[in-house]
């Protein structure tokens, strides 16, 4: 009887561990309402059950008081957000203030005195309650950078503390649920070290959205990935700090609670113009490719603009970084898809971070009319794997990804009658992904569990692209301890996932920049306690 109780208790504990309450924080931008044709989207077009937290970007500021960012926000946009909450009582909506184009001067002025901060906080409480928001998101890019003085580092911390105290006081007086205070912060090594008192703000904020994207873009002189999960061996000799794993680990090591850390996921790609015959990562680049047809932003394509490009492009998968890239003629694209999102979602589960942040809903294929993968294919990937917990097991998350998936044969099959599971332009020619086990030495239950996770996701995916698995430039392919192969059938072009070992990035030389998403973006000094 005792053994039975222990077994049941252990099973329940492990299920709870895997079923932890991950947040899915989704940004929606105010300028999405101005895009043309099929790219036009309003909050009323969103699925209220898609995300746990919906953040509207951005509000503005005048005379140290919060104001709407767009002229029609109060009349049209905010009421639509309220209706989403009526359809999903669990949805939390937040208002974000700041962004790249907002600059730093108004933040600096507001932060400069206690009286200015008090005026701002008072206006925030009134504004959020008036429009039924559940909290404030601070999108300050960045304290101590872009004209912001070094004193802003500590004053930003003071603001966060004062917001929390005021929100608590207001909640107690009104008997309403306390307003949330959150922040979007940099994933760049230099900025993290100089801009934030990480341990202090980490103890106060309800959650912290780390901008783990824009690690590379058309501002670089060579191609690189927008949001790689891991570093690459060919860059480690110089120091590869521009990846999701390093940024999240740095925030945690500097004192932010891991359960408050939310990792950023971009629903857009970064483009480059290349001229040489070298088409790989690290190829010489000469600025951005042409703007997308709908976003019309230099160096950025929305996922719904990426999908048509991929139909005739060469698509490759970088094993070490768990991300794809594609090229066609002189256009080179770094982007994320459902499979790289799946790997990153597993990373969050494995490390037990707080969840995922998406920038942004309006850049995903929100109508399902471009990619043939249904509505919001990228965000739904995160919903399935984080908040809906569709791959739960009584096994704990494995600690290391050590099962290479080696695909030996791809055999296209013709169908006698046309069939398409999902609407959209992508082909759905079926392929067999046929593989047989080659060796099971050093196999473990956790490895089998991780393999099952990946193969289940492959089976679920409605449409996928052909990947050519390539090692990073200058790297040595890892030695396999064992190879397990899965058999599945995927509508659309075949998907090949090769999972190899990774090593943590090392080195001491830090790249000098990390540029955030351009607008529309919205993507240590000595402590000075003077006010």
Look at 144 and 495; give whichever has higher pLDDT.
Answer: 144
The β-bridge relationship of strands 409-412 and 314-318 is unpaired
Q: Strand ranges (DSSP E) for 68-201?
A: 92-98, 135-139, 180-186
Phi, psi dihedral angles at 211 (to 5 degrees): -80, 80
145-168: buried (b, 16+ CB within 10 Å) or exposed (e) per residue? beebeebbbbbbbbbbbbbbebbe
**How far is Cα 486 from Cα 437, in angstroms, rounded to an integer?**
8
Is the confidence at residue 530, as pLDDT, over 50? no
Delineate the domains of the chain, giving CATH numbers in brackets.
Answer: 2-387 (3.20.20.80), 409-490 (no CATH)
The C-alpha atoms of residue 67 and residue 98 are separated, in whole angstroms, by: 11
Instruction: Work out the pLDDT band at 21, boundaries 50, 70, 90.
Output: confident
Task: Round to whole Å and give the CA distance between 272 and 110.
Answer: 38
pLDDT at 108 over 90: yes
Taking a C-beta distance cutoff of 8 angstroms, is the pair 208, 263 a contact? Answer: no
| 38-46 mean pLDDT | 98
Q: Which of residues 135 and 13 earns the better pLDDT score?
A: 135
Angle at CA of residue 55, ends 168 and 190, nearest 5°:
90
In 3-state terms the chain splits into helix, strand, coil percentages (rounded to 5) of 35, 20, 50
Grade residue 267 by pLDDT with cuts at 50, 70 and 90. very high
Lowest mean pLDDT among 129-133, 256-260, 394-398: 394-398
Please, what is the average pLDDT of the chain?
78
For the entire predicted model, the pTM comes to: 0.75
For residue 474, name the pLDDT band (cuts at 50, 70, 90): very low
Q: Determine the pLDDT at residue 276.
A: 80
Give the whole-angstrom CA distance, residue 69 versus residue 82.
17
What count of residues does the chain have? 531
Torsion region of 216: left, alpha or beta (phi above 0 gives left; psi -120 to 50 gives alpha): beta
Q: Residue range 165-194: average pLDDT? A: 98
Query: pLDDT (tens digit, 9 = 90+) per residue, 388-432?
Result: 866 543 333 333 333 232 222 222 222 222 222 222 222 222 222
Q: Would you say residue 175 has pLDDT above 60?
A: yes
Q: Judge whether residue 3 has pLDDT over 80.
A: no
* Averaged pLDDT, 43-72: 98
Of 233-247, 431-445, 455-469, which one has max mean pLDDT?
233-247
Q: What is the pLDDT of residue 382?
A: 98
Q: Give the pLDDT score at 407.
A: 25
Share of the chain above pLDDT 70, in %: 68
Structure tokens at 483: 């190879």
Residue range 365-382: average pLDDT? 98
Give residue 515's pLDDT: 36
Question: Are the CB atoms for 134 and 183 separated by under 8 Å?
Answer: no
| SS3 of residue 329 by DSSP | coil
Mean pLDDT, rounded, for 295-300: 97
H helix intervals, 323-404: 338-351, 377-382
| 507 pLDDT more than 50 | no
CB of 229 within 8 A of CB of 244?
Answer: yes
Is residue 80 predicted with pLDDT exceeding 50?
Answer: yes
- Residue 300, exposed/middle/buried by CB under 10 A (0-12, 13-18, 19+)? buried
Asked if residues 240 and 505 have their Cβ atoms less than 8 Å apart, the reply is yes
Is 261 in contact with 251 (CB distance < 8 Å)? yes
What token pair was written down for 480?
């396999």
> pLDDT confidence of 240, banded at 50, 70, 90?
confident
- Buried b / exposed e along 77-102 (16+ C-beta atoms within 10 A): bbeebeebbeeeeebbbbbbbbbbeb
Give yes or no for residue 289 having a pLDDT over 80. yes
| CA distance linking residue 251 with residue 229, whole number of Å | 15
Alpha-carbon span 359 to 28, nearest angstrom: 8
Question: Which residue in 187, 211, 193 sits closest to 99, CA to CA?
Answer: 211
Report which secondary-structure segment, H or E, holds 358: strand 355-359
* Higher-pLDDT residue of 403, 513: 513
Segment among 171-175, 214-218, 343-347, 388-392 with least mean pLDDT: 388-392
Assign 3-class secondary structure to 445-475.
Answer: HHHHHHHHHHHHHHHHCCCECCCEEECCCCC
Q: CA end-to-end span of the chain, whole Å?
A: 64
């Amino acid at each position: 009887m005792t053994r039975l109780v222990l077994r049941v208790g252990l099973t329940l504990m492990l299920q709870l561990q895997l079923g932890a309450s991950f947040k899915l924080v989704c940004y929606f931008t105010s300028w999405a309402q101005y895009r043309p044709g099929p790219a036009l989207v309003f909050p009323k077009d969103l699925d209220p059950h898609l995300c746990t937290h919906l953040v509207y970007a951005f509000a503005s500021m005048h005379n140290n008081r919060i104001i709407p960012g767009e002229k029609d926000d109060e009349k049209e946009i905010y009421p639509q957000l309220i209706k989403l909450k009526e359809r999903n009582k669990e949805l939390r909506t937040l208002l974000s203030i700041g962004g790249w184009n907002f600059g730093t001067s108004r933040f600096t002025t507001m932060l400069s005195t206690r009286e200015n901060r008090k005026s701002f906080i008072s206006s925030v409480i009134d504004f959020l309650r008036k429009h039924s928001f559940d909290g404030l998101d601070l999108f300050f890019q960045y304290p101590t950078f872009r004209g912001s003085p070094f004193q802003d580092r500590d004053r930003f911390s003071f603001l966060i503390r004062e917001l929390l105290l005021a929100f608590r006081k207001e909640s107690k007086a009104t008997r309403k649920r306390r307003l949330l205070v959150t922040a979007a912060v940099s994933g760049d090594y230099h900025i993290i070290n100089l801009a934030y008192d990480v341990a202090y703000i980490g103890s106060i904020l309800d959650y912290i959205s780390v901008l783990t994207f824009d690690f590379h873009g058309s501002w670089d002189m060579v191609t690189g990935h927008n949001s790689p999960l891991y570093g690459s061996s060919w860059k480690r000799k110089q120091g590869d700090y521009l990846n999701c794993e390093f940024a999240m680990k740095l925030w945690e090591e500097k004192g932010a609670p891991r359960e408050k850390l939310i990792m950023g996921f971009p629903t857009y790609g970064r483009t480059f113009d290349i001229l040489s015959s070298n088409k790989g990562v690290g190829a010489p680049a000469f600025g951005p490719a042409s703007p997308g047809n709908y976003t019309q932003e230099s160096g950025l394509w929305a996922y719904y603009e990426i999908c048509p490009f991929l139909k005739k492009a060469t698509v490759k998968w970088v094993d070490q970084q768990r991300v794809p890239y594609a090229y066609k003629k002189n256009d080179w694209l770094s982007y994320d898809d459902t499979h790289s999102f799946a790997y990153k979602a597993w990373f969050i589960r494995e490390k037990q971070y707080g969840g995922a942040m998406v920038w942004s809903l309006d850049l995903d294929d929100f109508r399902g009319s471009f990619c043939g993968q249904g509505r919001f294919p990228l965000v739904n990937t995160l919903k399935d794997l984080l908040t809906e917990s569709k791959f739960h097991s009584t096994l704990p998350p494995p600690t290391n990804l050590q099962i290479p998936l080696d695909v030996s044969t791809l055999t296209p099959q013709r169908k006698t009658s046309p069939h398409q599971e999902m609407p959209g332009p992508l082909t759905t020619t079926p392929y067999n992904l046929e593989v047989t086990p080659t060796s099971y030495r050093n196999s473990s239950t956790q490895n089998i569990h991780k393999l099952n996770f990946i193969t289940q996701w492959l089976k679920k995916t409605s449409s996928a692209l052909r990947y050519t698995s390539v090692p990073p430039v200058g790297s040595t392919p890892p030695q396999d301890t064992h190879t397990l192969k899965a058999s599945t059938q995927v509508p659309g072009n075949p998907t090949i996932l090769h999972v190899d070992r990774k090593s943590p990035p090392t080195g001491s030389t830090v790249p000098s920049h990390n540029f955030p998403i351009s607008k529309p973006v919205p993507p240590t000094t000595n402590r000075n306690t003077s006010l």
